[in-house]
């Protein structure tokens, strides 16, 4: 690993580097934007939120008196009269993971100051997220039509509906917030706010392409959480 | 040891740090500090009254806003405690109070004092005011989010207070909100009251997250030149670690609040088992009440340290300044704070010994609980060793600090009783528990808050609080608090249960009645004594004598601002450059008995300062 310097401070690799960064003045994470550090710590906190949800789910599922519904039946779609388990979820997951890819590319083009490409890729990410939310709405309405409610369902333990709607709802809420911000940033990038150093509407602060990376961190996190929800709800 | 400090070596070889670093390049300039990594912070200065004082983005104003809002809720909590004591001591005078009222007062008193008063006061109040000043930053790193944080807290308080006025009143389920009875009919406030409580808690968590991110990033990424982590005042360390705890513990509260809200509103059964009510089976079934207890205490125990760690940090600074001595074992103090914080995540189930856990579980949690006593005891020893042979000024601030040490040791020792399963089981849910946690996390942190108010008031308002009134305030509070809580230990030992509206004809009655009257009278007096401080503040603001800059001769950066009180932006044209820790007091060979953090090494080259 090549050694780098920031303002006369030598960045060493490995554990030694971590120790010397920690022992230094001014910043702990050298060269890391405030907002980026904030997003990482927020995500750590949010990880605890989702962990609490998923651990509660495991505990709840483990201790119900009625059997848990057979998830590969409940979540299957009928294609030409044949039940295909996990079909919808596979598509949803694919769309969401793809949107993570476009987000990563948007970050890359953003740092290259390629405004147009960056904007289009954020827009693509937003559309991907919106598609995901749309499919989630479809799935919810399908389950509700089949009689699944937060307080009970015809397939088994009532906690199935409770945990399903709560946790996927909380995740869908995260995705929706992300989509709203993706659209806002699409506008900001296309309008060239980062080039003209236009101040933010609320915060009155000047922006930078690092904001795209911060948004990207959030988006990747939401995708990662989905992988866990997918594993715990649909594969278990 | 001789009286003269002739053995200079003990002063020189304290630190393991080497000035030159391991790069091998010896810098001839001993005053050298690396240039700034981050450019000047872009600050938005408010223009109108609303932008300057209401929706203000200056952390100092936000800190004062947090402080005043928290004090308001604290006064509500105090009045509730008076009403409770009136019922317990003189039930014949409290004819207006039903058992339902009493439970509601117990619940709201607990929740208000722990979350909305102490947490908000330490982190929101002192954190906002002191962090940027002490680490040498112009402001918090995200001033706008910081402003939102306060207003979210304000809305949370408004929602909480609104629950007093809804049909059925506030929730009366006890501050722990244990299901299933919390949301079942028959518990006071099981309708709108509990709903507003859960909403308010969720809003508090959201608001706190916004503030907490600010505190953490400001400390990690926005320190001034020369300010290493190990040169930060312990106040900042305490608040920082408490914030980390809060960021990791509040998620459990948020999740349990969301799940209980759904249990209440949508009839889900996360926490609700099958319940028979008047011979009828309710809609609920299959949920786990113990799950709530785990989630709640995974938040609840770190919460104790969220309140205690800032108090530990602040009191360390106050003792050091007013004993004119460096804090004994600074690094040990830092690691003790961090260690207590880490351990606090592994002790939560000691609140659940009577919940019916596997006995081995209790054994594990008893062990971790007792291990926490080790770093805590280290801190107490270090405070005492800081006082040892110090040039102690017995002023109001020091009195509060000494009161804190005694009270904290007292409450800590009863904590060791309660940490053991076999001792806890008979003492559980008695007045002994009340005495324990009020001593350790009620009175002790409160003493630090009082000390801190007397200490930093000259900075915030530019005027000195009246010492005489302060001493009256201290002695009444200190003696009064002991009059309240010492007898409660005894009440607990004879088995008087807590949260009981009345004792009826129980065998405790004979010995408990007189004691309850005594405790109640003491509680009225102590509560009233707090208004001495309110009076003192109002009087001082009107006619108090003007404070000189740095009246306590402290070293930390908050006293070295360009103006007192500091303006938006905190420091003048240039940010201060830090060369040392804030504890260089009574250094042999130095001109004064304190060396500010900004003093360059070349100015004190012939003194015995420690390398920090």
Burial (0-12, 13-18, 19+ Cβ within 10 Å), B309 = buried
Render pLDDT for B62-118 as a digit per residue (tens, 0 to 9): 999 999 999 999 999 999 999 999 999 998 898 899 999 999 999 999 999 999 999
Averaged pLDDT, B245-250: 96
Q: Does B247 touch chain A (CB under 8 A)?
A: yes
- DSSP sequence for B544-567: PPBPPSSTT---SGGG--SSSS--
- The neighbour count for residue A113, using CB atoms within 10 Å, is 10
CB atoms within 10 A of CB A212: 26
Q: Is the pLDDT of residue B477 over 90?
A: yes
* CB-based contact A7 B34, cutoff 8 Å: yes
- Comparing CA positions, the residue from B403, B401, B534, B412 lying closest to residue B480 is B403
Chain A contacts in chain B segment 135-154 (CB below 8 A): 141-142, 144-145
In which band, very low, low, confident or very high, does the pLDDT at B209 lie, cut at 50, 70 and 90?
A: very high
- A2/A80 same-domain check: no
| pLDDT band per the 50, 70, 90 thresholds, residue A6 | low
**Within this chain, do residues A165 and A137 fall inside the same structural domain, yes or no?**
yes
pLDDT confidence bin for A7, thresholds 50/70/90: low
pLDDT number for residue B410: 94
Q: Which residue of B has its CA nearest to A37?
A: B217
CB atoms within 10 A of CB B388: 11
Parse chain B into domains and list their residue ranges.
Answer: 56-232
Query: Which 41-60 residues of chain B touch chain A by CB within 8 A?
Result: 42, 44
pLDDT (0 to 100) of residue B19 = 42
- Residue B322 pLDDT exceeds 80: yes
pLDDT recorded at residue B45: 85
Q: How many helices (H) and strands (E) does chain B have?
A: 17, 2
Residue A27 shares a structural domain with residue A124: no
What DSSP line would sit under A169-228, residue for residue? HHHHHHHHHHHHHHHHHHHHHHTTHHHHTPBPTTT--B--THHHHHHHHHHHHHHHHHHH
**Same domain as A86, residue A188:** yes
Considering the domain architecture, whether residues A141 and A214 belong to the same structural domain is answered as yes
Nearest to B113 by CA among B530, B535, B534: B530
Confidence grade of residue A31 (pLDDT, cut at 50, 70, 90):
confident
CB contact under 8 A, A157 and B286: yes
For residues B293 and B178, the answer to whether their CB atoms sit within 8 Å is yes
Chain B interface includes A137 (CB < 8 A): no
Q: What is the pLDDT of residues B144-156, one digit of tens each?
A: 999 999 999 999 9
pLDDT at residue B275 tops 70: yes
Nearest to B248 among A20, A29, A48 (CB): A48
Percent of chain B exceeding pLDDT 90 equals 78
In sequence order, the 6+-apart residues with CB closer than 8 A to the CB of B587 are B593, B595, B604, B607, B608, B609
Top mean pLDDT of A71-75, B24-28, B292-296, B351-355 is at B292-296
From chain B, pick out residues whose CB is under 8 angstroms from the CB of A151: 266-269, 283
Closest CA of chain B from A149, distance in Å: 9
Q: What is the mean pLDDT of residues A35-61?
A: 96
- On whether both A93 and A163 belong to a single domain, the answer is yes
Q: DSSP per residue over B54-84, as a string?
A: IS---HHHHHHHHHHHHHHHHHHHHHHHHHH
Q: Does A43 contact B at CB distance below 8 Å?
A: no
Those residues whose C-beta lies under 8 Å from the C-beta of residue A166, and which sit 6 or more positions away, are A53, A150, B258, B259, B262, B268
- Shared domain check, A20 and A117: no
Q: Which value, in Å, is the radius of gyration of the alpha carbons in chain B?
A: 25
My answer on whether A15 and A102 are in the same domain is no
Sign, CA dihedral B14-B19-B20-B23, equals positive
- The predicted-structure confidence for B535-582, as pLDDT tens digits, reads as follows 999 999 999 889 989 999 999 999 999 888 899 989 988 999 999 999
Which residues in chain B are closer than 8 Å to A30, comparing Cβ atoms? 37
- Based on the fold, state whether residues A15 and A40 are members of the same structural domain: no
Q: Is residue B125 very low, low, confident or very high in pLDDT (cuts 50, 70, 90)?
A: very high
**A159 has a chain B CB within 8 A of its CB:** yes
**What pLDDT sits at residue B177?**
94
Q: Which residue of A has its CA nearest to B288?
A: A60
Q: Does B213 touch chain A (CB under 8 A)?
A: yes
> Taking residues A195-210, what's their average pLDDT?
85
Residue B20 has a pLDDT of 39
Rounded to 5 degrees, what are φ and ψ at A77? Answer: -105, 145
Per-residue pLDDT, A3: 55
**Residues A27, A41 within the same domain:** no
| Measured distance CA(B76)–CA(B97) in Å, rounded | 17
pLDDT tens-place string over residues B434-452: 999 999 999 999 999 999 9
State whether A53 and A152 are in the same domain: yes
pLDDT of res. B508? 67
Out of A29, A52, A159, closest to residue B252 by CB = A52
Q: What is d(CA B445, CA B295) in angstroms, rounded to the nearest whole number?
A: 25
pLDDT of residue B376: 96
What CATH number does residue A229 fall under?
A: 1.20.120.80
Is residue A173 a contact partner of residue A132, using CB atoms and an 8 Å limit? no
A5: pLDDT confidence band, cut at 50, 70 and 90?
Answer: low
Residue B94 and residue B87: Cα distance in Å, rounded?
Answer: 5
What is the separation of C-alpha A140 from the centre of its chain, rounded to a whole number of angstroms? 19
* Confidence (pLDDT) at A1: 40
Mark whether A46 and A27 lie in a shared domain.
no
- In this prediction, residues B283-312 reach a mean pLDDT of 94
Least confident of A109-123, B227-241, B275-289: B275-289
Total domains, chain A: 2
Tell me which DSSP letter residue B139 carries: S
Residue A133: pLDDT band (50, 70, 90) is: very high
Q: Rounded to an integer, what distance in angstroms lies between the CA atom of residue A189 and that of residue A103?
A: 14
The total number of residues written for chain B in this structure: 612
- DSSP E strands: which ranges in B201-295? 276-277, 280-281
What's the whole-number mean pLDDT along residues B513-542? 95
At residue A13, the pLDDT reads: 84
Q: Which residues are CB-neighbours of B65 under 8 A, at least 6 positions away?
A: B56, B150, B154
Lowest-confidence range among A80-89, B50-59, B177-186, B226-235?
A80-89
Q: How far is A32 from chain B (nearest CA, A)?
A: 8
Least reliable range by pLDDT among A158-162, B121-125, B509-513 = B509-513
Q: What percent of chain B has pLDDT over 70?
A: 95
Give the other-Cβ count within 10 Å of B161's Cβ: 18
pLDDT-derived band at A78, boundaries 50, 70, 90:
confident
Neighbours of B607 (CB within 10 A): 16
* CA–centroid distance for B472 within its chain: 23
Phi, psi of A206, deg, nearest 5: -80, 145
- What one-character DSSP code corresponds to residue A166? H
**Whole-angstrom distance, CA of residue B307 vs CA of residue B311:** 7
Q: What is the ipTM of this complex?
A: 0.94
- Predicted confidence band of residue B12 (pLDDT cuts 50, 70, 90): very low
Specify the pTM: 0.93
- Is a pLDDT exceeding 50 seen at residue A45? yes
Which of B4-13, B83-92, B97-106, B330-339 bottoms out in mean pLDDT, i.e. has the lowest?
B4-13
CA atoms within 13 A on the CB side of B87: 22
Contact present, B260 and B184 (Cβ < 8 Å): no
CA distance, residue A65 to nearest chain B CA (Å): 6
Give residue A84's pLDDT.
Answer: 85
CA distance from start to end of chain A: 42
Burial of B94 (0-12, 13-18, 19+ CB in 10 A): middle
Residue A54's pLDDT band (cuts 50, 70, 90): very high
**Does A10 reach chain B within 8 Å, measured CB to CB?**
yes
Span A103-109, mean pLDDT? 96
- Respond yes or no on whether the N-terminal peptide bond of residue B565 is cis (omega within 30° of 0): yes
Q: How far apart are the first and last CA of chain B?
A: 25
Give chain A positions within 8 Å (CB) of B216. 38, 41
CA distance to partner chain A, nearest, from residue B413 (Å):
32
pLDDT of residue B17: 39
Domain of A231 in residue numbering reads as 33-235
Reduced to 3 states, what is the DSSP secondary structure of residue A78? Answer: strand
Place of tokens 């939310």: A133
Q: Which residues of chain B make contact with A150, given a CB cutoff of 8 A?
A: 262, 266-268
Mean pLDDT of the B385-407 span: 96
- CB contact under 8 Å between B223 and A203, yes or no, is no
Is the pLDDT confidence value at A154 over 50?
A: yes
Which of A41, A60, A204 lies at the smallest CB-CB distance from B288? A60
d(CA B108, CA B166): 14
Residues 6+ apart with CB under 8 A from B417: B423, B424, B427, B432, B436
In this complex, do A26 and B213 lie within 8 Å of one another by their Cβ atoms?
no
Averaged pLDDT of chain B: 91
Contacts of A162 in chain B (CB under 8 A): 262, 266, 268-270
pLDDT cut 90: percent of chain A above it: 68
Q: Is the pLDDT of residue B8 over 90?
A: no
pLDDT of B526 reads 96
Q: Is the pLDDT of residue B171 over 60?
A: yes
Contact A203, A35 (CB under 8 A): no
């Amino acid at each position: 690993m090549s050694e780098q310097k920031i303002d006369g401070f030598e960045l060493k690799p490995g554990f030694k580097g971590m120790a010397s960064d920690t022992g230094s003045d001014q910043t702990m994470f050298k060269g890391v934007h405030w907002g980026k550090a904030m997003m990482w710590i927020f995500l750590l906190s949010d990880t605890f939120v989702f962990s609490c949800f998923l651990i509660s789910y495991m505990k709840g599922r483990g201790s119900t008196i009625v059997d848990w519904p057979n998830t590969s039946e409940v979540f299957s779609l009928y294609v030409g009269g044949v039940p295909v388990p996990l079909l919808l979820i596979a598509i949803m997951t694919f769309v969401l993971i793809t949107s993570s890819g476009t987000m990563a590319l948007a970050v890359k083009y953003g740092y290259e100051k390629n405004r147009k490409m960056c904007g289009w890729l954020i827009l693509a990410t937003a559309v991907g997220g919106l598609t995901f939310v749309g499919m989630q709405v479809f799935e919810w309405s399908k389950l509700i039509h089949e009689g699944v409610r937060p307080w009970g369902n015809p397939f088994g333990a009532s906690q199935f509906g409770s945990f399903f709607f709560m946790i996927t709802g909380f995740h869908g809420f995260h995705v929706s917030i992300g989509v709203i911000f993706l659209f806002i940033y699409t506008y900001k990038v296309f309008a060239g706010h980062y080039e003209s150093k236009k101040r933010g509407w609320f915060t009155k602060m000047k922006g930078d392409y690092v904001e795209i990376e911060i948004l990207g961190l959030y988006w990747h996190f939401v995708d990662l959480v989905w992988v866990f929800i997918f594993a715990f709800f649909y594969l278990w | 040891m001789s009286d003269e400090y002739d053995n200079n070596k003990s002063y020189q070889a304290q630190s393991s740090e080497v000035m030159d670093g391991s790069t091998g390049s010896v810098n001839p300039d001993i005053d050298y500090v690396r240039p700034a990594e981050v450019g000047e912070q872009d600050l938005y200065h408010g223009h109108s009254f609303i932008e300057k004082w209401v929706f203000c983005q200056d952390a100092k104003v936000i800190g004062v806003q947090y402080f005043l809002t928290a004090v308001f809720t604290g006064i509500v909590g105090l009045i509730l405690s008076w009403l409770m004591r009136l019922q317990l001591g003189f039930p014949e005078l409290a004819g207006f109070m039903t058992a339902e009222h009493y439970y509601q007062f117990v619940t709201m008193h607990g929740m208000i004092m722990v979350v909305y008063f102490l947490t908000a006061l330490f982190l929101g109040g002192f954190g906002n005011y002191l962090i940027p000043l002490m680490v040498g930053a112009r402001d918090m790193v995200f001033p706008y989010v910081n402003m939102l944080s306060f207003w979210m807290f304000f809305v949370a308080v408004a929602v909480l207070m609104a629950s007093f006025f809804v049909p059925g009143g506030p929730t009366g389920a006890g501050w722990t909100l244990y299901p299933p009875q919390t949301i079942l009919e028959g518990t006071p406030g099981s309708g709108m009251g509990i709903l507003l409580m859960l909403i308010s808690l969720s809003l508090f968590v959201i608001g706190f997250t916004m503030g907490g991110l600010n505190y953490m990033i400001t400390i990690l990424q926005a320190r001034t030149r020369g300010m290493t982590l190990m040169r930060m005042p312990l106040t900042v360390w305490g608040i920082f670690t408490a914030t980390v705890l809060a960021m990791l513990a509040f998620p459990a509260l948020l999740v349990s609040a969301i799940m209980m809200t759904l249990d209440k509103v949508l009839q889900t059964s996360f926490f609700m088992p099958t319940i028979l009510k008047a011979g009828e089976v309710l809609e609920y079934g299959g949920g786990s009440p113990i799950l709530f207890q785990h989630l709640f205490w995974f938040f609840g125990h770190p919460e104790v340290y969220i309140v205690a760690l800032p108090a530990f940090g602040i009191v360390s600074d106050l003792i050091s300044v007013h004993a004119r001595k460096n804090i004994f074992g600074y690094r040990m103090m830092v690691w003790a704070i961090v260690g207590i914080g880490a351990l606090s995540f592994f002790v939560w189930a000691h609140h659940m010994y009577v919940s019916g856990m596997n006995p081995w579980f209790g054994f594990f949690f008893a062990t971790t609980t007792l291990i926490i006593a080790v770093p805590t005891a280290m801190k107490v020893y270090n405070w005492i060793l800081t006082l040892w042979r110090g040039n102690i000024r017995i002023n109001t601030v020091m009195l509060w600090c000494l009161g804190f040490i005694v009270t904290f040791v007292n409450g800590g020792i009863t904590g060791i009783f309660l940490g053991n399963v076999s001792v806890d089981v008979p003492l559980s849910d008695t007045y002994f528990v009340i005495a324990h946690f009020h001593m350790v996390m009620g009175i002790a942190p409160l003493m630090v808050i009082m000390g801190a108010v007397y200490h930093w008031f000259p900075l915030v308002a530019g005027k000195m609080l009246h010492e005489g009134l302060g001493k009256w305030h201290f002695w009444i509070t200190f003696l009064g608090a002991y009059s309240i809580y010492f007898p409660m230990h005894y009440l607990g030992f004879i088995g008087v249960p807590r949260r009981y509206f009345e004792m009826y004809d129980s065998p405790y009655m004979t010995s408990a009645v007189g004691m309850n009257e005594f405790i109640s009278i003491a509680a009225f007096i102590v509560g009233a004594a707090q208004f001495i401080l309110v009076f003192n503040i109002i009087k001082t603001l009107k006619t108090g004598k003007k404070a000189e800059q740095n009246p306590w001769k402290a070293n930390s950066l908050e006293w070295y601002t360009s103006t007192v009180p500091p303006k938006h932006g905190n420091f003048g044209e240039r940010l201060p450059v830090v060369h040392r820790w804030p504890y260089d007091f009574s250094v042999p060979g130095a001109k004064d008995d304190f060396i500010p953090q900004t003093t360059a090494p070349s100015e004190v080259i012939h003194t015995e300062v420690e390398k920090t």
